[in-house]
Amino acid sequence: MINYIWFFLIFIGIVVSIINGNIDSINTVIIEDTQEAVKFAISLTGIMAVWLGLMNIANKSGLINAFSRILRPITRLLFPELPKNHPAISAIIMNMVTNMFGAGNSATALGIKAMEEMNKLNADKKRASNAMCMFLVINMSSIQLVPLTVLKIRADAGSLNPTEIIGTSLIATTISTLVGIISVKIFQLRG
């Protein structure tokens, strides 16, 4: 799937740039956007290291076990394949918590950790497990409590009430997350 998307994004992009007569924009992408990608990966290294270090402490102290036991009813419903007290569960929970509070890069670091743990349990390492699909879909439907950047933009633009969209965002996000979870469950049943 990603194969086709990737090809068509680039192919259509190049064709359009020829029609529009701005072929040099492709060169800008090769120079600037690739640099952005590398910069991002490198900046992620530090945050990744901090969270993996902290997770290791939490694991050794038994905090992760205690934590996943409390949240067991929810995680059992969403991720029935993950064994009790598996490290994947705590990484998933911490990813969701950091996501909720808009700490994007920390969330990414913890999310990658969760994916690694889930892949350890995965029979076919090249094919996403049910748990991974569920995790990603929940992650992508965004459960951010306070969309800070949007609030900032609204305040800067002179909104009379910048925070009035928090409530509507929460309702919309809840609906989209539920639709995501239900679709994953339906796709799972169909195989």
Partner 1 sequence: MVYILNLISISIIPVIISIILIYGYLKGVDLYDAFVDGAKEGFKTSIRIMPYLIAIFVAIGIFKRSGAMDIIVNFFTPLAKFLSIPKEVIPLIIMRPISGSGSLAVVKDIITTYGPDSFAGRVASTMMGSAETIFYTMAVYFGAVGIKDGRYTLKAALLSHLASVIASVVVCRLIF
Contacts of 22 by beta carbon, 8 Å cutoff, 6+ apart: none
- Least distance in angstroms from the C-beta of 89 to partner 1: 16
**Is 13 near partner 1 (CB under 8 A)?**
yes
| Residue 121 Cα distances to 48, 118, 137, 181, angstroms | 22, 5, 19, 21
| 71 touches partner 1 (CB under 8 A) | no
Which of 37, 70, 74, 77 touches partner 1 (CB under 8 A)? 37
189 binds partner 1 per the rule CB under 8 A: no
| Cα Dmax for the chain | 61
* Residue list 104-133, contact with partner 1 (CB under 8 A): 106, 108-109, 111-113, 115-116, 118-119, 125-128, 132-133
Q: To the nearest whole angstrom, how small is the minimum distance from the Cβ of residue 83 to partner 1?
A: 18
**Minimum distance, C-beta of residue 71 to partner 1, in the bound complex (Å):** 15
Contact between 77 and partner 1 by CB under 8 A: the answer reads no
Q: Judged by CB under 8 A, does residue 85 bind partner 1?
A: no
3-state secondary structure 143-190: CCCCCHHHHHHHHHCCCCCHHHHHHHHHHHHHHHHHHHHHHHHHHHHC
How many amino acids of this chain bind partner 1 (CB under 8 A)?
Answer: 113
For residue 80, give both structure tokens: 């029935």
